[in-house]
Amino acid sequence: MTDRKLLAFYGLKFNPFLPGVPVEDLWLPPGAESFLFRMETLVLDGGFGLLSGDPGMGKSKLLQALAVRLARVDDVLVGVAERPTSTLGDFYRELGHLFGVNLAPANRYGAFAALRQRWREHVAQSLFRPVLLLDEAQDALASTLNELRLLGSERFDSAHLLTVVLVGDARLSERFRSPDLLPLGTRIRTRLVLQPLGREDLSAFLEHLLDRAGNPGLLTGPLRATLVEHAAGNPRVLCTLGAELLETALQRGRPVLDEALFLDLFDRTAKKRGRA
């Protein structure tokens, strides 16, 4: 009810500060277009791609954009792993579900062979390698990541049956320096590390969201500058601040969000915390 009231009151197509921004309205950070193009090309040959960055930098949104782009290509088979912390047996069960293979995880070799045969058949029919997207990969077991390396490789690592996109925070890159994951780390063919945004990029991000949501004048210029300053280069922090401001403005019936609202809301919040 509140969401509908908010959208109607401000003339918005969607709340620009919540995670459910439509994929066609997402803002892509610097380097994203090049990464997406390289990943689309990688589907022809297979192998590993890596997307990393600090929390809040937009990794999952970029992964969402990649999934939609790949799904629009005829004959590209995309699977999204939803539980990176699974044990190896559960991970095989999930792969079987994603790629339409009836597996008996207790028979590890049989599951290994059945998945590879499924992927070989897909490659023969479409020339595209199936794609597996693994978000929060920093939490995956080393045994799972190494199994993926073995599953997708054939002919003494001269060919690949699978394209894997690993997404995670800085811990994931660090893990590839360890001896047990170094063989996988050296096989990553394309990568993008999302960095904190500068003021211009963060301002462009905010302007893009407001424009695509349908109300470019929702925030005054000084408030935009204040949000950018307080976000410390992090899009998620900016959106968290914006969402709280928008809810408060709706409660107070204010059609435009300004710097006075920011100072009133967050100065009061800071004082309450100080007294606590």
3-state secondary structure the chain: CHHHHHHHHHCCCCCCCCCCCCHHHCCCCCCHHHHHHHHHHHCCCCEEEEEEECCCCCHHHHHHHHHHHHHCCCCCCEEEECCCCCCHHHHHHHHHHHCCCCCCCCCHHHHHHHHHHHHHHHHHHHCCCCEEEECCHHHCCHHHHHHHHHHHEECCCCEECCEEEEEECHHHHHHCCCCCCHHHHCCEEEEEEECCCCHHHHHHHHHHHHHHHCCCCCECHHHHHHHHHHCCCCHHHHHHHHHHHHHHHHHHCCCCECHHHHHHHHHHHHHHHHHC
Task: Give the β-pairing of 159-160 and 153-154.
Answer: antiparallel
Higher pLDDT pick, 274 / 98? 98
| Per-residue confidence (pLDDT) for residue 272, from 0 to 100 | 54
Other CB atoms within a 10 A radius of the CB of residue 178 amount to 10
Reply yes or no on whether the pLDDT at 112 is more than 60: yes
Q: What percent of the chain has pLDDT over 90?
A: 87
Cα 83-89-93 angle, rounded to 5 deg: 65
| Per-residue confidence (pLDDT) for residue 276, from 0 to 100 | 47
**pLDDT grade for 106, boundaries at 50, 70 and 90:** confident
| Per-residue confidence (pLDDT) for residue 160, from 0 to 100 | 94
Decide if 133 contacts 80 (C-beta within 8 A): yes
User: What are the phi and psi torsion angles at 163 (to 5°)?
Assistant: -110, 125
**pLDDT grade for 1, boundaries at 50, 70 and 90:** very low
Reply yes or no on whether the pLDDT at 271 is more than 80: no
d(CA 52, CA 171): 9
| Per-residue confidence (pLDDT) for residue 3, from 0 to 100 | 83
**Average pLDDT score over the chain:** 92
Reply yes or no on whether the pLDDT at 159 is more than 50: yes
Q: What percent of the chain has pLDDT over 70?
A: 96
d(CA 32, CA 193): 10
Complete edge-to-edge strand list for the sheet that includes strand 47-53: 78-81, 131-134, 163-168, 47-53, 188-194
Q: What is the pLDDT of residues 164-201, one digit of tens each?
A: 999 999 999 999 999 999 999 999 999 999 999 999 99
Domains of the chain: 2-15+197-275 (no CATH), 31-194 (3.40.50.300)
pTM of the prediction? 0.90
| Per-residue confidence (pLDDT) for residue 108, from 0 to 100 | 86
Reply yes or no on whether the pLDDT at 232 is more than 80: yes
Averaged pLDDT for residues 198-220: 97
Averaged pLDDT for residues 237-248: 96
Reply yes or no on whether the pLDDT at 2 is more than 90: no
Averaged pLDDT for residues 200-219: 97
| Per-residue confidence (pLDDT) for residue 191, from 0 to 100 | 95
> Cα dihedral sign for 42, 182, 169, 92?
positive
Decide if 216 contacts 20 (C-beta within 8 A): no
Reply yes or no on whether the pLDDT at 269 is more than 70: no
